[in-house]
Amino acid sequence: MTANTPDIKLHDVASSQISRIGYDPGMSRLRVQFKQKGLPGPVYEYQNVDIEQYRAFYDSPSKGKHFAQHFKGNERHPHRKIG
């Protein structure tokens, strides 16, 4: 992480596409670590995510489906690759 990027603790999740997720409520930012060839891969950060959106994602039975429906390509949640 860079000096300007706060550390967000990532939690393992059961998913075929996503390895870990984390949330910073003070900054309303979601971090998602995707799987790459079955192993932990790149981490992306999504902005403007409120706590209810994070909880719904964390609690969803299909993390990949939920991500695709609510975050992927959503202009309300600009994203960037971390590290």
Q: Is the pLDDT of residue 9 over 70?
A: yes
Average pLDDT value for residue range 56-81:
95
pLDDT above 50: residue 48: yes
Mean pLDDT across the chain, nearest whole number?
Answer: 91
SS3 (DSSP) at 53: helix
Per-residue pLDDT band at 83 (split at 50, 70, 90): low
**Number of CB atoms found within 10 A of residue 58's CB:** 15
Q: What average pLDDT score do residues 34-59 get?
A: 94
CA distance 43 to 72: 14
Report the alpha-carbon distance of residue 24 to residue 30 in Å, rounded.
7
